[in-house]
Amino acid sequence: MTTYHAVQRTQERAGMSLAKAERFVRNAVKRGLSADSFKSIEYEYLKSYDDEDGSRAVAYNSYCFIVSGDDICITMFALPDWFGKNNKNKKKKKLRDVTKYSLGCLFEEIEEDLSDFVCA
């Protein structure tokens, strides 16, 4: 089940037609992942939207859906860009030092120029 508000917000924020938005919300309630499916920062983010009345946050397809205890979708909004990304290996994905590699190109050009000279 969904509320009209949830379908309307899905249309606005995801740019979908009415039929697609209704199907999207139904799939989110059925197939979405709750906070218990995640670790560390994603867990904390979704858990912060949980409430005492049984409502919970569900992540589905880069969006967060607030679902009541009776499995009725209340609203939705976009998840942050970092959500669900593997941030563990960020240090290995650094941009390489451009000056270091450009020096290598200069040395190759110098070696080509020196190859014309004959040493006696």
Could you list the residue range(s) of the whole structural domain that residue 21 is in? 4-78
Residue 29 domain-assigned (yes or no): yes
Give the angle 85-60-44 at the CA atoms, nearest 5°.
60
Residue 87 domain-assigned (yes or no): no
pTM metric for this prediction: 0.68
The single residue listed with the structure tokens 């218990």 is: 36
- pLDDT (0 to 100) of residue 95: 46
Q: Based on the structure, what is the number of domains in the chain?
A: 1
- pLDDT (0 to 100) of residue 120: 53
Q: Which two tokens stand for residue 68?
A: 């009541």
Residue 96 domain-assigned (yes or no): no
**pLDDT mean values, one per 10 residues, the chain (120 residues):** 91 93 94 90 92 92 93 93 69 50 52 55
